[in-house]
Chain A
Amino acid sequence: MDTTFFMPPSYLDQSEAVAERFRRLRARPVVMDVRSLGKVFPTTGGQTVALHDVSFQVHRREFMCVIGASGCGKSTLVRILAGLEVPTSGSVLVDGAEVRGPGADRGMVFQGYTLFPWLTVKKNVMFGPMQRGLSESAADVEARQWLALVGLEAFADHFPVQLSGGMKQRVAIARALANNPRILLMDEPFGALDAQTRAQMQHYLLQIWKNVDVTIVFITHDLDEAIYLADRILVLKAHPGEVREMIEVPVPRPRLPSQFGGTEFGAVRSRLEELIHPKSEAMLDELPMIRLAQAGDDVE
């Protein structure tokens, strides 16, 4: 008699192939070591604890998603990882060296569009390599390769204003990767895109990640996006921002959009919902019932 038949599938169940993948992943060297990070913002008449005792490790070539409710400190976390913000306590190590500011070893793609508007697409991608001291011609060659990777060679001489949102973010990815960073940090990079473009971009990103030796830390508040992309999902709790759980996504790779309805997918999804909106049903009960009489009647 198979008892599990009556149990809902658990997000902890991993097929042998997936389990093997995670064993290999854990065996890989740690690229980024985050040690009990804390961040306190002074506010008028008090302080906001944005992050409290956040610790985790990212392994080489891992794709990690960070997820959490709005305002739980995701952006703060990734800005500290990038070196744009100084933590109040704790430290971040990249390849064993402590992060002391922004650097080319950690590329970043922002939610808003941050391409340099005065530079053409190609010159934008050349920016990092030129900062590293590459000659213009060498940077040019490099930029063309990265543009080819994101499929935008045809737009090399366009200005950012002439591109659609999705194209801008692809250029931003190429620009960040052109520095050969150890880690690519992404803060809701597809947040401003429409659903269709977003799905395309997610697929694109997985392809790029497959072809390029880079470790990705990806912030999102979209559960499906996190499950679709991640090896592991770091779930943050709000007020203060703390690690709630690190989930190993049991969905096998290569991932396809068709897996969205699968059992593993559903299991992770319901677990994430539990973690992120534990009180959502209680809140619904508390909400006052407003009866919009006419509106409701006219619909029928």
Chain B
Amino acid sequence: MRDLFAIRKELPPAWNRILGVAAFALPLLAWCVVSYVPAVWHPLVKIDKPGGVSWFSPGLLVDKPVFREESARAVAAGRARPTGEPANPIFLPAPDKVARALYTAFTTPPRLQGEQWLYQSLWESIKTIIYGFAISSAIGVPLGVLCGSYAFWSRLTEPFVDFVRYMPAPAFGALSVAVLGIYDAPKVAIIVIGTLFQQILVVSNTVRKVDPALLEAAQTLGASRRSLLLHVIVPWSLPDLYNDMRILLGWAWTYLIVAEVIGVSSGITFFINQQAKYRMFENVYAAILIIGFIGLGTDQVLGFLGRRIFPWKNPRPSRFRRFMLELFTTARTIDASPSEPSERSAA
């Protein structure tokens, strides 16, 4: 048990799996307890039969003390006692409700004519993210690499970038609507503004971490400046840049929610706001969860791909490969025996 809390030590794989499941199971369990065990919270009463209280109606939620007071008053007045069950506020739907909503959100047609299906809203949001992130990366990554590699570009751009970085992207909302219209363009612009300036700095910092010894080694091998950039700096930083991109993509999602209320509200944010207006909070949760699933899913897929794309970064040799490696490592000692090279030269 002590080993589980050793500082900076890997856990046994079984524990990794257990904790990974627990990371999701524990919050879910807490949610279930709060939702299904009335004694835990349930501050309200959901009216079943109004009894003798005139303003009660079936399905109405009232505070517990109010319910107690009213029922006492009804009984005292000789009227029928109202009945009801303990309930949670409407903004905390039970897991089963949300689970059902996760399904029905995709099968229920929109309430109003012209409103979008959930999947259409989602797709619209994803498109906004993709456009925004692609435009930002197309500018930010090359510029960041230049800044990280050449003091000239760094001194020329970074002070200004640092300055703009502190301006909150939503502050540009009105401006971008004025310039770009009310539809998708200003939303993409907000994501670009929110991501780009951070991206330039993050990328240049990553690139700056390239091991100077490798640059020197490359120089002694005859590499030109261009070659240092293309064949040392870029390949060295790619895995870290890839991870930076994963993190920045997460930021882009946070800007999405702001971006989508600019101009004509659209996408998943519009869906969420609309459902909240209808007081369908299970749908709100469902939509938020879907965003979470999409985020986590993309990140996991990107992480998985990253390990394939950059095998040198995390070479987890299969058991077979490790066995072969050990086999050859012992062979190396024989290989390195003094007589060998001279034999080779004689041959």
Task: Please report A residues at the B interface, Cβ cutoff 8 Å.
Answer: 82-84, 101-104, 106-108, 110, 112, 114, 116-119, 127-128, 131-132, 148-149, 151-152, 154-155, 158-162, 164, 166-167, 175-176, 179, 185, 200, 203-204, 207-208, 210-211
Is B328's CB under 8 angstroms from A103's CB?
Answer: no
Q: A128-B221, A159-B311, A179-B222 given. 4 additional CB < 8 A pairs?
A: A108-B217, A112-B213, A151-B336, A200-B336
**Which positions 330-347 of chain B face chain A at CB distance < 8 Å?**
331-332, 335-336, 338, 340-342, 344-345
A-chain residues with CB within 8 Å of residue B329 when the two chains form the complex:
164
Minimum C-beta distance from B220 to chain A (A): 4
The residue on B at minimum CB distance from A207 is B341
Query: Total interface residues on B, using CB and 8 Å?
Result: 37
Chain B residues with Cβ under 8 A from A179's Cβ? Answer: 221-222
A104 surroundings in chain B (CB, below 8 A) = 220-222
Q: Known contacts being A116-B214, A154-B331, A161-B312, is A211 close to B221, with CB within 8 Å? A: no
B10 on the interface (CB 8 Å rule)?
no
B224 near A131: Cβ-Cβ < 8 Å: yes
List, in ascending order, chain A residues with CB within 8 A of B236's CB.
116-118
Asked if B222 and A151 make an inter-chain contact with CB atoms under 8 angstroms apart, the answer reads no
Q: Which of B216, B235, B311, B341 contacts A114 (CB 8 A)?
A: B216
A151's nearest neighbour on chain B, judged by CB, is B335
Residue of B nearest to A154 (CB): B328
Candidate in A112, A127, A152, A159 with the most chain B CB atoms within 10 angstroms: A127
- Asked whether A117 lies within 8 Å of B220 as measured between CB atoms, the reply is no
**Is B223 part of the binding interface, using a Cβ–Cβ cutoff of 8 Å?**
yes
Query: In the bound complex, how far is the Cα of B278 from the Cα of A89, in angstroms?
Result: 81
Report B-chain residues with C-beta under 8 Å of the C-beta of A148. 344
- Asked if B183 is an interface residue, CB under 8 A from chain A, the answer is no
Given A132-B222, A151-B336, A159-B312, A211 and B217 touching (CB < 8 A)?
no
The CA-CA distance from A131 to B332 in the complex, in Å, is: 30
Specify which chain B residues have a CB less than 8 angstroms from the CB of A204 in the assembled complex: 336, 341
Q: Give chain B residues whose Cβ lies under 8 Å from the Cβ of A155.
A: 328
Q: What 3 A-B pairs come out closest when comparing CB atoms?
A: A104-B222, A207-B341, A102-B219
CA distance A107 to B310 in the complex (A): 28
